[in-house]
Structure 1
Amino acid sequence: MEEDNYAAALLDEVYNFVARFVAYPSEAAHVAHVLWIVHTHMMQAWESTPRIFFSSPEPGSGKTRALEISELLVPNPVEAVNVTPAYLFRKVADEAGAPTILFDEIDTIFGPKAKDNEEIRGLLNAGHRRGAVAGRCVVRGKIIETEEIPAYCAVALAGLGDVPDTILTRSVIIRMRRRSPGEVIEPYRRRVHKPEGDLIYKRLAGWAEFISADIGGAWPEMPLGIKDRDADVWEPLLAVADAAGGDWPERARVSCVSLVSASKVATPSLGIRLLADLKMVFGTNDRISTKTLIELLCGLPESPWSDLKGKALGDTGLADRLKPYGVKSKQIRIGEWTGKGYERTDLHDAWKRYLSAPPHERETPETTETAEAAE
């Protein structure tokens, strides 16, 4: 019991320390950051490591500060911004121990301004699983050789907007925002606060060394609906919470459900938007002409269909966008009129597959009944 009290109190100490300098968007985000920091001290215990991604729509939202505070508390921190691939590869392969990469301005690597960053992207994509390697070509004189570099390490990212799904689906996503006038944090000065951070770091390292031999064999119970990739992401964090005891197991699972649910709320692709809008404009009609369908789509409030790169959606554009979903126009008859159009029965399968709740949300009888009622 005393050990549990010590571990829970230690996580509380981390929780209180980071809260002094970071204005979190939610309690779930705050808890997740603490658990992620602690899990970096036990990297050899995990089969995979979640990335943590601090994102915001605008600068000045606390993303960099979250990385700066993390730097005090994680092992072998490497603050990466505008680094070369060779530097990162050498750091990750360092015999002294894998680093914890704190990568700021990640939008410059994955965003529209990115240039020759394929090797860094490959490292970040591959390194979430223990034993993972990143391959690259090396030129030695006139000979081109391939080599595999260890890629497994803990990574925290910060940037504007989003990163590719290959990163997002392996990440705990924290949507930062600018502080409101009522949100007050303590000014951070590294040389002032580093000694306090060092003391917490040493206590974390000591506790991690004590339990790391056993914690990797734990199979933490997942909250209902958390499975597949989401379970991989949260398994180490929930294991840390369970090992700490106190109220941390419950807090961790509340955080898990909250952040996973929030991560599923994203702007749909234009294809999904088109299917949803078609379902709306079809209403109870069995068939609609292509011309009428386009007019109805363009008439929807806040519709993108009247201005796609300066041009309205046309017959060919509609057909091209529906083709990947197995939907084609055909000759139809409405009263005395005949011509090209679409039938409701041809869209039903696409609606069912792409507009229904995804599999991770079909876990309970209640959600199943709701989905069936929607059919």
Structure 2
Amino acid sequence: MPGREQDYILLEKPPFRYHHPFVDIAEVAGTRRLYYGQWLWFDFSPAGGKIARSYAAIFDDGAMVVETGAGELEEVGIRLRRVPAEKPESRWPTWAIKKFLDGEPPNPDEMDVYDLCKRAYENYIDYGDEWGASMLMSLYTIQSYLTPIFSTLGYIGISGPKRSGKSKNLDVAEQVCFNPVKAVNLTAASLFRIVDGYRATVLIDESDFKSPERHRDILIMLRAGYRRGEYVVRQAKVQKKGEEKFKEELFDVFGPKILVVPEGIEEMLRDRCIMINMQRTANPSITRRYVDPRDPIWEDIRAHLYYFGLKHWREVEQEYMRLDPGEISGREYEKWAPLLALAKVFGVYDDLYKYALEKIHETYLDEEAEAPAIKLLRICLHIYNQEKDEYTDQKPVLSASQIAEKAEELLGREKWIKPGTIGNLMTNVFGFNRRPWKRVKHGTAVYVLDPKKLKALAKRYNVDPDN
């Protein structure tokens, strides 16, 4: 009430921040530290307890904090934002955890983790003409252990004919990626909850898209899971005072995702993916080879991945923060930047950068093949180059109908070549919506093909203005 003495103080900052139970970066005693959370078995009998399974946070400096319910984590400044979900078994093998806590490095060295991952993918999958695919998959696997570092994470999209090894990528990724979960047979709410709770790497097969409802739920997750700080909202039923009510739940689904994409993939989804195009292999030994989860190589690779994450996350973060984008910009830079930072650390930057430019060029070609706006821009540039000398100011002036006639002459009949569609694209997409680029002549809207504007559009859409 006005004039009443207040019995509270508004804090400018929260007294703590919540942390993720399975991987996060926390400030401990004034130092930022990355940790991994694990459910492990302990013998508490020396302290009068018994054998029990408890949650433990293992830090990059070799320290481990075991939570027994006495607030051990809060003592070091960590408050978990939710009770850590109990996984059936630790992905990080206990023998490797003991070695890490004892300060014993892995053999071979943790920097060999890139080669270990690359050999694993190449052992089971023939990538054919995709010369950089095993490099990409290996770096993406390592990236999955360092999610807290990055602001955006692109997805891996895998396409190709039947029996080309698309799903086998998911089988290998399931053995080596951080907390993997396959989307099959999970309800949307369960999937969102698992991704949020485990900071999971989501593996999606093309069969997961067959149900329209399932398709929609996956797209909701993929739209929100690309950028840090975006959430999926679900309505959950709760009982309150004997009445059934609905409560909103927010799920953090940010993190790595690998998907086998169906035909006719939505433009939004392709825009968030780095695409790998599979081909059928002519190598029968690879065809017959299957991924056995019991193979001890998987434990060894994961041991290297956890060790690398704890010992080298700062180096990766520094490379990420100072990365020179070069010729890569916009959404493409957001997808490739984490991988390029890792490539710097492993000494394969030049190879990955070359591969990235090739993949980006493929994306532009795909967009050009399917986007009427790109075709229209090429037509306008062609008209300008062919007809500019017919105008005193070298600026051709045409109506939407005249542009449509020119387009049909050059491309033949296509569905989008209609005056209405062209007028809409010129006005709302290319910005020919006011003088000096648009005016009315004899009661009809006409468009002035100004060279400066056309060249600016060509640069934006990566179109050669002279070709």
Q: TM-score with structure 2 length normalisation?
A: 0.62
When structure 1 is superposed on structure 2, of 269-278 and 283-292 the one drifting more is 283-292
1:194 aligns with 2:295: yes
Assess if the C-alpha contact under 8 Å between 2:397 and 2:446 holds in 1.
yes
Assess if the C-alpha contact under 8 Å between 1:81 and 1:105 holds in 2.
no
1:128 aligns with 2:226: yes
1:49 aligns with 2:148: no
Q: Which structure would you say has the larger RCO, counting Cα contacts within 8 Å and 6 or more residues apart?
A: 1
Q: Distance in 2 between matches of 1:317 and 1:47?
A: 37
1:78 aligns with 2:181: yes
Q: Distance in 2 between matches of 1:340 and 1:107?
A: 50
**C-alpha distance 93-298 of structure 1, shift in aligned 2 (>3 A):** closer
CA positional deviation for 1:100: 1.1
SS at match of 2:260: strand
1:307-346 pair list within 5 angstroms: 315-316=419-420, 318-320=422-424, 322-324=426-428, 325=430, 326=432, 330-331=440-441, 342=446, 345-346=448-449
What is the aligned residue count? 341
1:36 aligned residue (123, 126, 140):
140
CA positional deviation for 1:170: 3.4
1:105 aligns with 2:206: yes
1:300 aligns with 2:300: no
Match of 1:231 in 2: 333
Identify unmatched segments of 5+ residues in structure 2.
1-104, 391-395
CA positional deviation for 1:34: 1.0
CA positional deviation for 1:15: 1.3
Match of 1:26 in 2: 130
**C-alpha distance 128-353 of structure 1, shift in aligned 2 (>3 A):** same
When structure 1 is superposed on structure 2, of 62-71 and 229-238 the one drifting more is 229-238
SS at match of 2:345: helix
Match of 2:270 in 1: 168
CA positional deviation for 1:78: 0.8
Q: Distance in 1 between matches of 2:313 and 2:172?
A: 23
Residues 201-239 of structure 1, C-alpha deviations (whole Å, 9 max, x = no match) = 222222222223553344353352123433332232223
Assess if the C-alpha contact under 8 Å between 2:110 and 2:304 holds in 1.
no
**C-alpha distance 85-225 of structure 1, shift in aligned 2 (>3 A):** same
RMSD: 3.7
Q: Distance in 2 between matches of 1:270 and 1:153?
A: 33
Match of 2:247 in 1: 145
Q: Distance in 2 between matches of 1:82 and 1:63?
A: 19
CA positional deviation for 1:272: 3.0
Match of 1:335 in 2: none
Q: Distance in 2 between matches of 1:170 and 1:226?
A: 15
1:256 aligns with 2:366: no
Assess if the C-alpha contact under 8 Å between 1:107 and 1:163 holds in 2.
no
Residues 301-324 of structure 1, C-alpha deviations (whole Å, 9 max, x = no match) = 4x343x56xxxx555555455443
SS at match of 1:185: helix
CA positional deviation for 1:39: 1.1
Aligned-pair identity in percent equals: 19
1:276 aligns with 2:378: yes
Assess if the C-alpha contact under 8 Å between 2:164 and 2:281 holds in 1.
no
Q: Distance in 2 between matches of 1:131 and 1:340?
A: 48
Assess if the C-alpha contact under 8 Å between 1:135 and 1:148 holds in 2.
yes
Assess if the C-alpha contact under 8 Å between 1:220 and 1:242 holds in 2.
no
Q: TM-score with structure 1 length normalisation?
A: 0.75
Matched to 2:339, the amino acid is: L
